[in-house]
Chain A
Amino acid sequence: MMQASARRSSRRSFLSPALWIPAGLALALLGLPLMALVVRAPWAQLPELLRQPTVASALGLSLGTALLSTAISLVLGIPLALVLARSDQWPAVPRRLLRALVTVPLVLPPVVGGVALLLLLGRNGLIGQFLPFQLPFTTAAVVIAQVFVAMPFLVLAVDGALRASDRRFEVAAATLGASRFTVFRRITLPLVAPGVAAGALLCFCRALGEFGATITFAGSFPGVTQTLPIATYLQLQTDPDAAIALSLVLMVISATALVSLRDRWVPGVTA
């Protein structure tokens, strides 16, 4: 009897009915805009709209740059995540500075990131003034802006996975004669592969959606720097239907990423 009542009380919801109203409003705020997008989409003209040259070039540019940004973030971000995850023995000041540097782009308005990139790599920038070529307003600038904004997602995801993984496997590998790089390649990295995959996906999605830093640092030249989000925004002024079609494309890519995240790479579950 005690057990039965205990079970009933544990199942009872302590959620006050008064909280259902704001929770419902929150849900509506998140869900209804997406619904409006789907409802108002010009489904009949969609194939035609997506074949427009501006759309096709923006889509190609966006996918290409986002993939490249993700690849760069993997190559540079995984080692950074390792340094970050193993920085526990460091003195407090450099350790906190490192973590702050990695986290800042997450909270910084992307436009500010774009301005900062201009001041560093622009024609008169700290480094830019010494460059033999012009970086801003090129496709390379798009990629740099995306890496700046998106890489922290990868770094923090991999950092979390590294902290959760058992470092004694690395000791075991060392007793078997494995060099440090072999340990990294054959033990450390495979053990955090789910975290790397999740981080890469988040990074890709963030790069794909990048707007503020890109338009500031790279501008909006069709075919060169005009990515999908920028094209969407500009089309909204001239051809709303095209803008909706572009939004749908971005939404489908994001939804696909979300589903693959949930199904395959739920944090903490491996294999």
Chain B
Amino acid sequence: MGAGGDGMSVAAALRLARGAFTLDLDLAVTAGRTLALLGPNGAGKSTALGLLAGTIDLDSGSVVVNGRVLDDESTHVETEHRRIGVVFQDYLLFPHLSVLENVAFGPRSSGIPRAAARSQSVQWLDRLGIADLASTRPPQLSGGQAQRVALGRALASNPELLLLDEPLAALDVEVREEVRGELGRFIHDWGGPTIVVTHLFDDVVALADDVVVIERGRATQRATVRELVQAPATSYVSRLVASWSDD
């Protein structure tokens, strides 16, 4: 569970109290693996994501990425210095910038000259199979296209951790299966540590290696996907598994 070892790794102990809600969650993920944070609405998934990305302040605990402390009692690294890429649920592509400018935004912000940032971004678009959309404005994109752009934008900023917030929730049910498969491949090709926040069991099966089930701010099960299917620890998970195997 520690942050040491070879390759990229992430370890977080997230503690937060807001009124009646308390979050107490330990997370760990290493390069090349995808951790799913699975839980019902209101379980604290978005809060956990905000704590990792630095948009919410921890009460206590820590966030350590590749041995670099991003958050603990004495440190708070601002979001813009965390190098944590986020694919937001509704993508949040900048509507006034083209697809290429969206993807180039991260490299530009890190001081890479315009031309170099653009050619890097073209490569990302190529890799994601959407080079033909470079000059398109985000409002003209389909849901699946927008998700690829959002993924390209997050990865082009060269993050040390990738966070995906309900990556399939904004898509029509008919296209989810296809997009989910593509997303899994892209994440695998990228190869860095990834955390997927979701309430969809299909996402867990298709995208994740390991799962942390979160209910009411606490981890109720830690398992690989296979173990989770074979031995659900709570009624919430058994219901998800049952309805999943019905499909």
- Which residues in A have some Cβ–Cβ distance to B below 8 Å? 166, 168-169, 171-180, 182-183, 186-187, 190-191, 193, 270-271
A173-B105 CB under 8 A given contacts A168-B88, A178-B80, A179-B80: yes
Q: Is the CB of B106 within 8 A of A271?
A: no
Q: Which residues of B sit under 8 angstroms from A171, Cβ to Cβ? A: 53, 55, 79, 92
Q: How far is the CA of A169 from the CA of B88 in the complex (A)?
A: 10
Q: Is the CB of B109 within 8 A of A172?
A: no
CB nearest neighbor in B for A173: B105
Verify if B83 is at the interface (C-beta below 8 Å from A).
Answer: yes
A177-B153 CB under 8 A given contacts A169-B94, A190-B96, A271-B95: no
| Interface 1/0 per residue, B61-80 and A, CB below 8 Å | 00000000000000000111
CB nearest neighbor in B for A172: B92
Interchain Cβ contacts under 8 Å between A and B, 18 examples: A169-B92, A171-B55, A172-B88, A174-B79, A175-B82, A175-B85, A176-B80, A177-B81, A177-B83, A177-B157, A178-B80, A178-B105, A178-B106, A178-B109, A179-B109, A182-B109, A190-B96, A193-B96
Q: How far is the CA of A172 from the CA of B53 in the complex (A)?
A: 10
Give, as a whole number of angstroms, the nearest-CB distance from B47 to chain A.
14
Which residues of B107-143 are within 8 A (CB) of A? 109-110, 137, 139
Q: Which residues of B sit under 8 angstroms from A173, Cβ to Cβ? A: 94, 105, 109
Q: How far is the CA of A183 from the CA of B84 in the complex (A)?
A: 17
Give, as a whole number of angstroms, the nearest-CB distance from B113 to chain A.
15
Give, as a whole number of angstroms, the nearest-CB distance from A187 to chain B.
6
Q: Is the CB of B55 within 8 A of A177?
A: no
- Which residues in B have some Cβ–Cβ distance to A below 8 Å? 53, 55, 78-86, 88, 92, 94-96, 105-106, 109-110, 137, 139, 153-154, 157
**Additional A-B contacts beyond A173-B94, A176-B154, A178-B105 (4; CB < 8 A):** A173-B109, A175-B53, A176-B85, A191-B95
Q: Which residues of A sit under 8 angstroms from B55, Cβ to Cβ? A: 171, 174
Q: Is the CB of B96 within 8 A of A176?
A: no
A-B residue pair count with CB separations less than 8 angstroms: 64
Q: Is the CB of B153 within 8 A of A176?
A: yes
CB nearest neighbor in A for B157: A176
Q: Which residues of B sit under 8 angstroms from A270, Cβ to Cβ? A: 95
CB nearest neighbor in A for B159: A175
Q: Which residues of A sit under 8 angstroms from B106, Cβ to Cβ? A: 176-178
Q: Which residues of B sit under 8 angstroms from A191, Cβ to Cβ? A: 95-96
A177-B96 CB under 8 A given contacts A171-B55, A186-B105: no
CB nearest neighbor in B for A175: B86
Q: Which residues of B sit under 8 angstroms from A193, Cβ to Cβ? A: 96
Q: Is the CB of A175 within 8 A of B84?
A: yes
CB nearest neighbor in B for A171: B55
A174-B105 CB under 8 A given contacts A169-B94, A187-B94: no
CB nearest neighbor in A for B153: A176
Give, as a whole number of angstroms, the nearest-CB distance from A95 to chain B.
22
Q: Is the CB of B80 within 8 A of A172?
A: no
CB nearest neighbor in A for B85: A175
Give, as a whole number of angstroms, the nearest-CB distance from B146 to chain A.
13
Q: Which residues of A sit under 8 angstroms from B109, Cβ to Cβ? A: 173, 176-179, 182
Q: How far is the CA of A172 from the CA of B55 in the complex (A)?
A: 10
Q: Is the CB of B105 within 8 A of A175?
A: no
Q: Which residues of B sit under 8 angstroms from A180, Cβ to Cβ? A: 80
Q: Which residues of B sit under 8 angstroms from A187, Cβ to Cβ? A: 94
Q: How far is the CA of A191 from the CA of B92 in the complex (A)?
A: 13
Q: Which residues of B sit under 8 angstroms from A190, Cβ to Cβ? A: 96
CB nearest neighbor in B for A187: B94
Give, as a whole number of angstroms, the nearest-CB distance from A242 to chain B.
47
Q: Which residues of A sit under 8 angstroms from B78, Cβ to Cβ? A: 174
Q: Is the CB of A177 within 8 A of B92?
A: no
Q: Is the CB of A177 within 8 A of B80?
A: yes
